[in-house]
């Protein structure tokens, strides 16, 4: 398909990271500046644009297509049946299959196929903002990257481990397709729910990309009236728009996530105060079980995390407390 003539930006990140919130705030701000903006929700939950419609869900591309098909009218389906306008923002929700009844990634691919047939890249918008499901595991959710539909990509993440893990996976997808000739590049990270630990900023350093903006946790009562008007939100959104308009996007570095986590202060597996590398970790000596079930005395404490079952091959990793002769043995007593 190639990069659109519009400024097309994809927002990615782990579920719950704040992608839809950020995308909606950026879309509204640009619309108030007299820009024509299309916001597209690319998640089966189809909740990306609800803030533009007072919390209401709009009909989805896949759902509308299914209705037309059931009526034998699928050839009549047109863009005006799936584009809605709220707060001045033009909105599309791709949607997805019902739970356990289909592949969400394939649904995304099919939805984009319909939009491409209608000339999506030639639509007269100044900005097209794609709000995508968190992790890039299924190829369908990597469509904007694989097909170079987005020229710039923003990763929304927090300092939480799983959020950074997803962010690194997304950056890895950008790098992979760029190496294959793709045109999508990573603009940077938006750190949401920032607790001040600096972990996501450190990940940005490893990836070789900037932190576009950081937004701390804001009490809900400060957002109830209008999140858009909150000065911290407005400043963060302004920084992202400035980056979209004026900053170059990047070819991200390859990052081994284990090595990255070990490099974080206070967050690494350590031995004698030194971070343990991946090679060292796999070469650590295996702990040998010292007690068999038959030899554990009633109520007796023992000092090993491994216990031996009927045979040497059956080993059990004990949780914080274990049953020994019918009595719980606290880990402090091992």
Catalytic site positions: 14, 19, 45, 135
308 φ, ψ (degrees, to nearest 5): -100, 135
Give the Cα separation of 168 and 97 in Å (integer). Answer: 27
Alpha carbon distance 161, 138 (integer Å): 21
- Cβ neighbors of 187 (< 8 A, separation 6 or more) are 9, 152, 153, 154, 209, 212, 243, 244, 247, 249, 250
Largest Cα–Cα separation, the chain: 78
Q: Any idea which residue has 């308009």 for tokens?
A: 245
Cβ atoms 155, 122 nearer than 8 A: no
| Token pair 């079980």 in the structure block, residue | 289
Residue whose C-alpha is closest to residue 329's, from 160, 27, 321, 215 = 321
């Amino acid at each position: 398909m190639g990069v659109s003539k519009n400024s097309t930006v994809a927002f990615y990140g782990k579920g719950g990271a704040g992608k839809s919130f950020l995308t909606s705030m950026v879309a509204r701000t640009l619309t108030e500046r007299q820009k024509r903006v299309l916001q597209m929700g690319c998640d089966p939950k189809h909740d990306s644009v609800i803030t533009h419609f007072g919390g209401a869900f709009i009909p989805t591309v896949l759902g509308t297509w299914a209705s037309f098909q059931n009526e034998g009218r699928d050839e009549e389906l047109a863009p005006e049946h799936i584009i809605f306008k709220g707060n001045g923002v033009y909105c599309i929700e791709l949607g997805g299959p019902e739970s356990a009844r289909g592949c969400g990634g394939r649904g995304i691919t099919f939805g984009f196929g319909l939009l491409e047939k209608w000339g999506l890249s030639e639509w007269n918008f100044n900005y097209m903002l794609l709000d995508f499901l968190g992790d890039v595991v299924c190829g369908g959710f990597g469509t904007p990257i694989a097909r170079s539909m987005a020229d710039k990509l923003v990763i929304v993440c927090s300092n939480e481990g799983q959020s950074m893990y997803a962010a690194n996976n997304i950056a890895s997808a950008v790098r992979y397709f760029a190496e294959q000739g793709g045109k999508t590049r990573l603009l940077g990270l938006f750190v949401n729910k920032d607790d001040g630990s600096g972990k996501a900023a450190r990940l940005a350093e490893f990836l070789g990309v900037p932190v576009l903006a950081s937004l701390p946790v804001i009490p809900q009562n400060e957002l109830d009236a209008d999140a858009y008007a909150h000065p911290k939100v407005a400043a963060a959104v302004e920084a992202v728009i400035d980056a979209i308009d004026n900053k170059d996007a990047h070819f991200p570095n390859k990052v081994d996530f284990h090595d990255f986590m070990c490099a974080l202060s206070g967050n690494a597996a350590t031995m004698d105060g030194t971070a343990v590398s991946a090679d060292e970790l796999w070469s650590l000596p295996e702990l040998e079980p010292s007690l068999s079930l038959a030899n554990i005395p009633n109520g007796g404490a023992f000092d090993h995390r491994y216990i031996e079952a009927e045979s040497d091959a059956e080993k059990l990793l004990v949780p914080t407390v274990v049953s020994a002769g019918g009595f719980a043995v606290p880990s402090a007593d091992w």
